[in-house]
Structure 1
Amino acid sequence: MDELGHVNNAVWIQLVQKIAVAHWQSVADPEHKAAYYWVVVRHQIDYLRAAREGDRVVARTWVGDAPQGARFDRFVEFTGEDGKSRVRCRTQWAIIDKATARPIRVPPEVIAPFLAQV
């Protein structure tokens, strides 16, 4: 919480990352999980309404339309019980090949299961 009693910015970032990792773990092929990992390149967060201690929010996540080289966009929206958005986030991730520890172009077969969900 911050001085105004709002959820702290760092908390939103931690939640966004946990949601992204959980989405990857639940959808990605086991071979892809073994071969690649993702790192955050950029967070862009819009704080629309305050969330305070005790408020209940629902998170929804989805991926962007298509990767750009090694980078891919993920979106997360937190909605309050009143149905109004509290926070919207666009996060850019880069895929890293575990064998080389270097970024690679996102393979179509890696992203396909995520695009099918949209």
Structure 2
Amino acid sequence: MTFSQAFTAAPADIDELGHVNNAVWVRWIQDLSVAHWHAVAPDEHRDAFVWVVTRHAIDYRGNLAEGETVTGETWVPEAPRGARFDRHFRFVKQGRVLVEGITTWAMLDRATGRLMRVRPEIAAPFLR
């Protein structure tokens, strides 16, 4: 299941080279992932768990200038192993991939802050 969301580069997103700063791409990766969680996960999961990033692997293949829009896409290709939840992503403009990669997330119990195993019922809505 692929989740998509559009992002438009604002003036504050632009670096001295005239394109979206790498730190903004990382923020968009997180925003895209969180939006997917909120769109798919049931209320009881959103209330009980919170996610943290443990690793980013990002390939930058193109640039985006101020005012341009890109479509972010994210998906989970396979069931998680233990607490590790690998999420793939890409940002596409007019059929061209500008940024792509994999982010590894860990799920925490919201009340205790402890690392939790991603049970099949939590992963299921992302694997359809």
In the superposition, the TM-score normalised over structure 1's length comes to 0.91
Match of 2:29 in 1: 16
CA shift, 1:2, in A, is: 2.2
1:114 partnered with 2:90: no
Match of 1:42 in 2: 55
Q: How does 1:77-96 map to 2 (within 5 A)?
A: 77-81=90-94, 83-96=95-108
Counterpart of 1:69 in structure 2 is 82
What secondary structure sits across from 1:7 in the alignment? Answer: coil
Show CA shifts across 1:36-86 (max 9, x none): 1110111111001111222221111111312121010111111112x1100
Q: Does 1:97 align with 2:126?
A: no
**CA shift for structure 1 position 99:** 3.1
Structure 1: give runs of 5+ residues left out of the alignment: none
1-structure distance, mates of 2:68, 2:49: 36
CA contact (8 A) 1:41 1:92 kept: yes
Partner of 1:32: 45
Note the residue ranges of structure 2 that are not aligned, 5 or more in a row.
Answer: 1-13
Contact 2:79–2:120 (8 Å) recurs in 1: no
Tell me the CA shift for residue 4 of structure 1: 1.7
How far apart are residue 3 of structure 1 and its match?
2.3
| Alpha-carbon distance, 1:106 to partner | 0.5
Amino acid at match of 1:34: D
Identity %: 53
Q: In structure 2, which of residues 70, 77, 89 is the aligned counterpart of residue 57 of structure 1?
A: 70
For 2:113 and 2:70, locate their aligned partners in 1 and report how far apart those are by CA, in whole Å: 36
C-alpha RMSD of matched pairs (Å): 1.1
